[in-house]
Amino acid sequence: ILNVEQSPQSLHVQEGDSTNFTCSFPSSNFYALHWYRWETAKSPEALFVMTLNGDEKKKGRISATLNTKEGYSYLYIKGSQPEDSATYLCAFVPNTGNQFYFGTGTSLTVIP
Amino acid sequence: DVKVTQSSRYLVKRTGEKVFLECVQDMDHENMFWYRQDPGLGLRLIYFSYDVKMKEKGDIPEGYSVSREKKERFSLILESASTNQTSMYLCAGSTGDEMGRNQPQHFGDGTRLSIL
């Protein structure tokens, strides 16, 4: 089982603040890195699938970067809103085997 | 809008029972997955299927089996339920070859299963 770590485990920010969190994964055998948002009582929702080193993706106020050589991805939220409150999951996909390795998530609470 | 539907949000069963968790997708996706989520752990893959009647073991297949007789339906079976199978179970679907590894997964709402 590969180790995928997300930090911080939880985060509280004020409405309007920008924030970021990290997903760390093995730097070898990289194939893809997924980000999902999981709101309470809902199903996880796909945000990004990243495959290339140096990739940057953006969806509204949320963006993500990828560094496969050092094994990390950052997720940024600009001008956080209460509706951004959720757990953000990343999943590492190696280029061998048939597996998705999920981190334990970062729980974000945006305080109005 | 894509839809993955799990048959129950909450389910309570007894030790030793045979339990079926059903998942249906309306997206014509080739790949379907079953995960479980436990406190302090990331989602862990139990089984996945890349085509009708095809299945592959994930990380934690012990105590589980699956069935995919039709493309849209993927069932998880607990052959003889035990208390350590109390968990949240999530079904997902995706397109693409090679398990859809570079494609986003679409998840159901989850089934919270309690084994007494």
- Token pair recorded at residue B109: 């709402």
pLDDT digits (tens, 9 = 90+) for B65-93: 999 999 999 999 999 999 999 999 999 99
For A47-101, the DSSP string reads: EEEE-STT-EEEETTEEEEEETTTTEEEEEESS--GGG-EEEEEEEEESSSS--E
What does the alpha-carbon distance between residue B95 and residue B86 come to, in Å, rounded to a whole number? 29
- Are B79 and B85 spatial neighbours (Cβ–Cβ below 8 Å)? no
Q: So what's the pLDDT on residue B46?
A: 96
Which residues of chain B have a CB within 8 Å of the CB of A42?
Answer: 109
What's the mean pLDDT when you consider all of chain A? 94
Which candidate from B90, B102, B107 shows the least CB-CB separation from A32?
A: B102
B1 — pLDDT class (breaks 50, 70, 90) = low
The two structure tokens encoding residue A80: 């956080």
Report how far residue A55's alpha carbon sits from residue B10's, in angstroms, rounded to the nearest whole number. 39
Q: Which of B41, B101, B103 to mutate to test the interface with A (most CBs of A within 10 A)?
A: B101
Using 50, 70 and 90 to split pLDDT, how confident is the model at B2?
low
Candidates B59, B101, B104; nearest CB to A46 = B104
List the single best residue of A39, A50, A88, A98 to mutate versus B (max B Cβ within 10 A).
Answer: A98
* Residue A40 near residue B107, CB atoms below 8 Å: no
Distance, CA of A21 to CA of A39 (rounded, Å): 17
- Residues of chain A with pLDDT below 70 are 1
